[in-house]
Structure 1
Amino acid sequence: MDRKFLLTAFGYGLLGLLLGIYMAATKNHGQLVAHAHIMLLGFVVSFIYAAVYKVWQIDGASAMAKVQYYAHQVGTVFLLLGLFLMYGRYAPANVVGPMLGVASMVVLLGFVLMKVMLIKALRSGAAPQE
């Protein structure tokens, strides 16, 4: 799972950088919120998850790990899409709002599952791998 998160992290990083370059080139920074979420939630959090899976040797083949991965990815994609639509003025906030709420809860689920798996790993005596 560490490799999946690492690859998706860099995919989000590329997308975020492209959006940032586009905003700079057009001098239109209306997508600043979407850009920040792509970089932080997409790139940084996914990268941290990759590191946690690798360093603490969390079983990436477990059912919980799979749910955690897909919860983070699905929630993040819909959250980013909603923010892009709202801040790009392609859809009003009252239409996109419910999607953002559900997507945020799905991302939260992924975060909670990561914490549960990390606690289990630490309780089982898993030490960081060097």
Structure 2
Amino acid sequence: MDRKFLVAALLYAVAGMCYGIYMAASKDHSLHPAHAHILLLGFVTSFIYGVIHKLWLGVTAGKLATVQFALHNVGTVVMGVALTLLLAQKLPEETLGPILGLSSVLVLISAVLMLVMCLKSAKSST
């Protein structure tokens, strides 16, 4: 799972950097919150999760790790797209608000699952 998170993190880094270059070239920084979410949730958080899996969890996390990976990435991608659409005023907040709320909950559940896996790993190693 560590490699999957690392690859995902690097994909988010490339996407976030392209986003930043686009904003700089267009001189329109109105989408910077979406850019920041892609980099922080996508690149930074995925990288940290990958390190946790590599150094502490390994293969012991099992199916829970797969669920956590899926929830984190679905939530992050949906949030990035929905924030972009909202900030670019392509769809109204009434439409995107619930989508952003759901994506936020998916990312939160993913973080809670990481906590659970870390706590289980700590118990099994003592």
Q: Please classify the TM superposition score into its range, dividing by the shorter chain length.
A: over 0.9
Q: CA deviation at 1:123?
A: 1.5
Cα deviation per residue 1:74-120 (whole Å; 9 max; x = unaligned)?
11111111101001111111110000001111111111000000111
SS, match of residue 30 in structure 1: coil
Q: Check the 8 A contact 2:85/2:91 in 1, yes or no.
A: yes
1:19-38 paired onto structure 2 within 5 Å: 19-38=19-38
Q: Check the 8 A contact 2:57/2:118 in 1, yes or no.
A: no
The aligned residue for residue 7 of structure 1 is 7
Q: Check the 8 A contact 2:34/2:80 in 1, yes or no.
A: yes
CA RMSD of aligned residues (A): 1.3
Query: Which protein has the bigger helix share?
Result: 2
Q: Check the 8 A contact 1:58/1:117 in 2, yes or no.
A: no
Identity of paired residues, percent? 47
Q: How does the TM-score come out when normalised to structure 1?
A: 0.93
Q: Check the 8 A contact 1:58/1:121 in 2, yes or no.
A: no
Q: Check the 8 A contact 1:10/1:43 in 2, yes or no.
A: yes
Structure 1 spans left out of the alignment, 5+ residues: none
Cα deviation per residue 1:24-82 (whole Å; 9 max; x = unaligned)?
11110011000000000000000000000001033266111110000001111111111
The aligned residue for residue 105 of structure 1 is 105
The aligned residue for residue 63 of structure 1 is 63
Greater CA drift, 86-95 or 57-66:
57-66
Q: How does the TM-score come out when normalised to structure 2?
A: 0.95
Moved over 6 A (4+): none
- Structure 1 residue 121 and structure 2 residue 121: aligned? yes
The aligned residue for residue 85 of structure 1 is 85
Q: Check the 8 A contact 1:86/1:96 in 2, yes or no.
A: yes
Alpha-carbon distance in 2 for matches of 1:44, 1:117: 19
Q: CA deviation at 1:125?
A: 1.7
Structure 2 spans left out of the alignment, 5+ residues: none
